[in-house]
Structure 1
Amino acid sequence: MVNLYKNKFYAVFGNPINHSKSPDIHNFFYKLYSLDYKYIKICASKNFFLKDILSFFNKGGKGANITLPFKEKIFSLCNEITKRAQISGSINTLKKFDNGNILGDNTDGIGFLSDLLFHNIVKKKFNLLIIGAGGAAKGVIYPLLQFGCNIFLTNRTFERAKILSNKFKNFGNIESITLRNLSNMRFNLIINATSSGISNEVPLIPCNIINKKTICYDMFYGDKNTVFMNFCKSYGAKKIYSGIGMLIHQAAHSFFLWNNIFPDIKKTVNFLSKK
């Protein structure tokens, strides 16, 4: 098939996708390192997304990021899959090699841990509460356990938390806990891995587990503080963070996979803060 892309092209696939900041981040990386590449966003069909992604690669695309709702559905596209993608059960990064093979990777987890380390808000043996047992939680648990954190997993439907914690129990200290049993617990870091921010709702956690020493992180992000961040702040939390840092870091790890260059995070943060 004829290569329709004169330069190296990369893309993010999702549905919806208009909100994505990934093109801003990656095109800034390319400008920063004077690379004549381009990164675009593509709204893939929910029924024919595999065909859309393959078409992109057949036309000369070199790499892609995958976001909701396709992360857990593209394993069949890949000739090779990294260990961290296999363990997490989801893929957010694809790389096409010169021989035509496609590698599937997951940079969400390492991107999340990198952002925590960037802000110096995680240490070994920290007690972490993760709220939610969906794809977002699944993608970050393995690197956090490998780092040495103790994870407590809760979810509105407890059975889902139990199933997910059992999946990762061989990789470190993780246990599931019901929402009603959280009141007597204390955590160094509370992570919202639910999609509650989309509907401007707050997860049903007891407010007494939050105090001025509690670090709170919402994996959801927007142009201002999320509802969860404001909720935590109202109960005394001084250190609150959104998922924009995770987005930057997972993008950086994808960029490294494609170009063997790890981009400057501080310059990227400054760039995004001015947009």
Structure 2
Amino acid sequence: MTVNAGWLLRDARILILGAGGAVRGVIPALLAEVPHCLFLANRTPERARQLAQQWTSDAVPVSGGGYQEVPTEPWDLIINGTSTGLSNEMPALSSSMAFAPQCRAYDMAYGRAPTPFMEWASAHGVVEVLDGLGMLVEQAAESFFLWRGEHPETTSVVSSLRAASGD
């Protein structure tokens, strides 16, 4: 998000859908950007609350709950870390959610077609919606660095992959 899309996350209100391993893996990187707050929403509210408690910090408030417990404050970034898109579904979010004027959405899943989450975000006026292809490329670049000791440039790789897939 920050490398390939140039999204600035400092002071952003970030809503993360899901509380599994993928979400657990991105929380440290998100906190390093010093957002205004993180809220983890999950179909199992207690699981979201437990994960949020593990990341409580003085610098960034982290809280969690169920999909229907999402605060109505305007979100700057919504990240889907659930597997619902794999079964062509969408998390059951509250209809009273609010979006900041420049809200962005990121689905950790990737593929040729937009996921239900990406379609939902676009239908709600989110200004920019991306899938997880950039994250996949960044993970590969990190592996390359571990093996070769050099960081490859990734922006052109993401652009080439998107062009090859018709995006």
- Taking the aligned partners of 1:262 and 1:191, their CA distance within structure 2 comes to 26
Report what 2:76 is aligned to: 188
Q: Which runs of 5+ in 2 are unaligned?
A: none
- Taking the aligned partners of 1:185 and 1:126, their CA distance within structure 2 comes to 12
**Structure 1 residue 208: Cα displacement:** 4.1
Are 1:201 and 2:89 matched, yes or no? Answer: yes
Are 1:151 and 2:38 matched, yes or no? Answer: yes
**Structure 1 residue 123: Cα displacement:** 2.4
Report what 2:49 is aligned to: 162
Report what 1:109 is aligned to: none
| Other structure's SS at 2:32 match | helix
Q: How does 1:227-266 map to 2 (within 5 A)?
A: 227-266=116-155
- Taking the aligned partners of 1:124 and 1:242, their CA distance within structure 2 comes to 21
Quick check: which has more Rg, 1 or 2?
A: 1
The question of whether the paired residues in 2 share the 8 Å contact of 1:252 and 1:263 is answered with: yes
- Taking the aligned partners of 1:160 and 1:183, their CA distance within structure 2 comes to 17
Structure 1 range deviating more: 231-240 or 188-197? 231-240
Are 1:123 and 2:28 matched, yes or no? Answer: no
Q: What is the TM-score when the length of structure 1 is the normalising length?
A: 0.55
| Other structure's SS at 1:119 match | coil
Aligned-pair Cα RMSD in Å: 1.8
| Other structure's SS at 1:220 match | coil
Deviations 1:55-84 (A, max 9, x none): xxxxxxxxxxxxxxxxxxxxxxxxxxxxxx
The question of whether the paired residues in 1 share the 8 Å contact of 2:4 and 2:158 is answered with: no
**Structure 1 residue 219: Cα displacement:** 0.5
Structure scoring higher RCO (CA < 8 A, sep ≥ 6) equals 2
The question of whether the paired residues in 1 share the 8 Å contact of 2:81 and 2:107 is answered with: yes
Deviations 1:156-187 (A, max 9, x none): 11000011011111474211133223262211
Q: What is the TM-score when the length of structure 2 is the normalising length?
A: 0.87
- Taking the aligned partners of 1:236 and 1:267, their CA distance within structure 2 comes to 28
Q: Which runs of 5+ in 1 are unaligned?
A: 1-114
Cα gap change, 1:210/1:249 in structure 2, threshold over 3 Å: closer, same or farther?
Answer: farther
* Alignment size in residue pairs: 161
Q: Percent identity?
A: 35
**Residue type at the aligned position of 2:31:** L
